[in-house]
Structure 1
Amino acid sequence: MKVQVKVSQDAMEAHMIVSAEPNEEISKEDLLSQLKSHGVVYGIMEDAIENIVKSKIFDKPVLVAVGKKPVDGKDGQIVIIKPEQTEDGQSIADKGKIDLRELPARMRTIVKAGQTVAEIIPPTEGEEGRNVLGRVLKPKVGKPPQLKLGRNVRLIEDGKKVVAAVDGILIAATDGTIDVNEVLNVQGDVDYSTGNIDFPGEVRIKGDVKPGFTVKAKGDVVVGGVVEAATVVSFEGSVSALGIKGREKGIVKAKEEVRAKFVENAVVEAGKAVIVDGPITNSQIKAGEKVIAKGSKGVIVGGTISAGFYVEAEEIGSELGVSTHVEVGVEPEERERMKVLKAQLELDRENLSKLVAVYKTLKEIMDRNQGKLPPDKIELFRKVGQSMINLRNNIELAERELEEIQRRMREKYMFAKVIARRVLHPGVEICIFDKRYYNDKSLQKVLLVLEDEQVRVGGYSGDSEV
């Protein structure tokens, strides 16, 4: 018997060629001994050896050993964690009708402070290999991920996770940089390409906010163009825009201020001030402190203007006598509460009057029947009496609240005023606190204040507050 063992150049395979007489006896142990004598000690295929012996495979190369290739380590990864809910607050899995204005918002990843935005998966070392000669083959170790911490993010859990330090929009760049931006920048218009916006920071829009769209932000909203028949809300900051065209749709609202170059057919509300560098036309304006139309074109024509302390414009009303209503001396919310209380008092007093009439009728029946009522009237009598007690209590509480609001407002807004820097036109109704004045003629440079429980009209020669 003659045995040849051939090891491949990379020592990852070994072949055996056995030469023997047809009737010559060979054994598995002999062949294994031959492999060992040639240095082949790993990956031996004993089934192949047995097959040579059993089937008498002679003078042919047979693969009898195979090495194990090393498994290189995997490179580390940065895995961005997508929230289960999108900017619009809907679950990604939600089904049903889809508003096309909401679709682009689902592409923006909005995160909260403390939220995990990425996980760092470390590289692996890989697995060692071995050739048929028993030599260990080292794998390539994986490379660590290229992580670059940008703004408003930090590492936790020994560098295994990245969390947001603030509320904002998650931005993951191709170079491995992770940012959370507190400002959402829109390079063009808010339309179907951007969708509605609901952002926990500041929003800056270069273009317009198109009709029917909504922009809501925790911080300031700055619109380079026009807000047109759209809704724009700043929950904790201010709103500024080139102009506001309401077309009797949508609303612009801010906790602090609303500023624009013009306001037309719009609803605007501000916790502090509405300041317009131009005309305010046919609009519903509410401000906790003041409303000012600045400049030579700063006129207020039509609509209702409500402010806590101060309303000022170059002109109020128009030569055509357009109905214009101006209210100062009560916060818009307080005024609304007073209206509700007055309406509720009127309704409660009317209902109480009706119940008193029913009660008297039942009492007359009792008097005629020696203090007794028919069985079907006893429960009614009890309910009427209880309802009268409840209504009297409600009326008393409402009267107290109304008196308290009026007292507080008198003290707080005793210096409230309305100023027409050039002209107060006929057709303008002025309300300071609860006193009204209707102007029926053109007046030049007017200052209106509350004095001795009356609206006093005087001359104006001062400077604007802004």
Structure 2
Amino acid sequence: MAELSQLFILKVSNDQMIAELHYTDEYLMHQELNVTMEEFTQFLHNNKIIFGLDEGSIEKVVSGGVPLEDFPMVIARGIEPIPGLDGKVQYTINFNPMIEKDLNDDRWDFREVMRIPSVEVNQILAKLILPTEGTDGTNVYGNLVRSKPGKPIRMKAGKNVRFEEKSLTFYSESVGQANVQGNTIHVHPVYEVSDSLSMKEGNIDFIGTVIIKGDVPSGYTIKAGGDIKIYGMVEAATVKAEGSVYVAEGLAGQQKGTIEAGETIQIGYINQGNVYATNKLFVENSILHSECIAGDEIICQRGSVIGGHSSAGNSIQIKHVGNHMNTRTELILGQNHKELQETEELQSQKKEIEDTLKKLAVLGEKLSQVPNIESNPKLFQALQRQKASYDKNVELLDSIKEKLESLNHETNEKYAKLIVIGNIFANTVVAFGKYKRMIDTSYNKVQFELVRNEIYMRSLEDSFA
């Protein structure tokens, strides 16, 4: 009688969670061999397979005549460990300043898009939920497989916030605007100007939220560690917020006015302005001859974008692009057009310096081969100048490479979309990163996306029917 070890081979997965039974050539000549349950169980034990045995598969082997197509058979299966749950933050207030709205709904009120999360003293802001340990498993050898414990969440109390260790709770210590920046919870007090900004207040640089009940005239600067809310208009002024910016009327920038936000910008219109939003840019009416950048998306579903450059990381949704006069208008998806221009300029500078270094290297080699060059003051000075110029260009090249590396981040043009729910006119440039398409005739209700490195346009008529 053949030994079971001659008939079968046991193979265990790398993680030791599955044991499979394979047959040998010897088995082909002993398929009708009777095997007792005790013999087969002992065979498994001899191979140290003792846990998670599949009784159905074992019965099949013991009964004899297992078809070859049933091999390999899972003969034992361990219990996988269940990893612990990560810790999390359970917020008790809504920190999101955005109000969810259907942008295709004509009843959408632009002025209801943003709200400031306001809190009172000693109000509960959030609670920490601790991670769990998880459940251990067992492999087919009967060995314990430790589960991976959950990771603790890192959240700390910032300005005007206290954390109580016993209850794992964050409390507000001030009346103001609650804000989460990174892994820190802050409560920013509010600075309010009851009228248009004037010489009475001067420039504003405030750690919290700034509210202007009137206009921001040309020449003024407002900086805020929280949000900025302006009930009037902004002229050729500078407005910068680490949070969001809301402008009820608009920006008449005269090519000098700038608005920057670390989060989202909502504004009535933009005319000859420079607008930069890390997250989203909502424009109620039109964008005219301006430079606009949004890290996520630009939404301008009631007006037109005419002239200038507008770029967004993920999507641009516009009613009309360009005009009947075919004013050149550029829309860039997936990449910041300012960074794209800077990258191109740096690449050009890099090539020039590399060419210069090659020429200097050739010159240096020729000069260094001159015998007793120290005795020739003119040539020796030329060699010294060559070395100084070479070192200076190497230093400059390293600086440019460092800048290029800082700009070399992942782009999103493969997943970005441009949606035009009205008309897109001729002389509009649509770009997805380095891929560009010139629109040479007018289209209505279309969507653009990048498909296999080509800019593809499709109709939205069915969607808006």
TM range (shorter): 0.5 to 0.7
Is 1:261 matched with 2:268? yes
Residue 241 (structure 1) aligned to one of 248, 270, 282: 248
Q: How is 1:104-115 mapped onto 2 (pairs within 5 angstroms)?
A: none
* Residue type at the aligned position of 2:420: A
In 2, Cα distance between equivalents of 1:249 and 1:407: 28
Aligned position for 2:435: 435
In the alignment, residue 439 of structure 2 is paired with which amino acid?
N
Distance 1:353 1:344 in 2: 14
Matched residue type, 2:332: E
Note the alpha carbon deviations across 1:289-316, whole angstroms, 9 max, x for none.
Answer: 1112122xx2100111122122221111
Structure 2 spans left out of the alignment, 5+ residues: 1-159, 163-171, 177-186
User: Residues 430 and 381 from structure 1, CA distance in 2 versus in 1: closer, same or farther, beyond 3 angstroms?
Assistant: same
Of residues 194, 197, 220, the one that matches 1:187 is: 194
Amino acid at match of 2:346: L
Map 1:213-362 → 2, pairs under 5 A: 213-295=220-302, 298-331=303-336, 334-335=339-340, 337-356=342-361, 358-359=363-364, 362=367
Distance 1:290 1:428 in 2: 19
Answer with 449-458 or 397-406: which moved more. Answer: 397-406
Q: Say if 1:437 and 1:282 are closer, same or farther in 2 by CA, change over 3 A.
A: same
Q: 1:119-158, aligned counterparts within 5 Å?
A: none
Matches within 5 A, 1:32-51: none
Distance 1:232 1:386, change over 3 A: closer
Whether the aligned pair in 2 keeps the contact of 1:201 and 1:220 (CA below 8 Å) is yes
Equivalent in the alignment of 1:135: none
Structure 2 residue matching 1:352: 3-state secondary structure:
helix
2:406 and 2:237 mapped to 1: Cα distance? 38
Q: Which secondary structure does the structure 2 equivalent of 1:209 belong to? A: coil
Task: Give the match's secondary structure for 1:225.
Answer: coil
How many matched pairs? 286
Residue 381 (structure 1) aligns with? 383
RMSD: 3.7
Aligned-pair distance for 1:239? 3.4
- Determine the structure 2 residue equivalent to 1:424: 424
What CA distance in whole angstroms lies between the structure 1 residues aligned with 2:290 and 2:326?
A: 16
Q: Summarize the Cα distance change of 1:205–1:359 in structure 2 as closer, same or farther, 3 Å threshold.
A: same
Shift of residue 275, structure 1, vs aligned partner: 0.8
CA distance in 1, matches of 2:197, 2:428: 37
Stretches of structure 1 lacking an aligned partner (at least 5 in a row): 1-151, 155-163, 169-179
- Partners of 1:287 and 1:332 within 8 A in 2: no
Equivalent pair of 1:317/1:323 in contact (CA under 8 Å): yes
Contact 1:269–1:287, Cα closer than 8 Å, also in 2: yes
Task: Pick closer, same or farther for the CA change 1:362–1:222 going to 2, 3 Å.
Answer: same
Letter in 1 for 2:308: G
8 A Cα contact 1:167 1:201, kept in partner: no
> Is the CA contact 1:315–1:420 (under 8 Å) kept in the aligned structure 2?
yes
TM-score where L is the length of structure 1? 0.53
- Distance apart, 1:241 and its partner CA: 2.9
Offset from partner CA, 1:28-64 (integer Å, 9 cap, x none): xxxxxxxxxxxxxxxxxxxxxxxxxxxxxxxxxxxxx
Normalised by the length of structure 2, the TM-score is 0.53
Residue 216 of structure 1 and its aligned partner are, at CA, apart by 1.7
| Greater Rg by CA | 1
Instruction: Please give the secondary structure, in 2, of the residue aligned with 1:210.
Output: coil
Contact 1:247 1:266 in 2 (8 A): yes
8 Å CA contact 1:317–1:425 kept in 2: the answer is yes
Residue aligned with 1:228, SS: coil
Q: Which amino acid aligns with 1:352?
A: L
Alpha-carbon distance, 1:455 to partner: 2.2
Give the Cα separation in 2 of the matches to 1:435 and 1:380: 46
Query: Does the aligned pair in 1 maintain the 2:215–2:233 contact within 8 Å?
Result: yes
Listed one character per residue, the Cα deviations across residues 218-271 of structure 1 (whole Å, up to 9, x for unaligned) are 111111111122221112333333211112223111111111121111111111
What is the distance in 2 between the residues matched to 1:428 and 1:153?
Answer: 50
Distance 2:362 2:175 in 1: 61
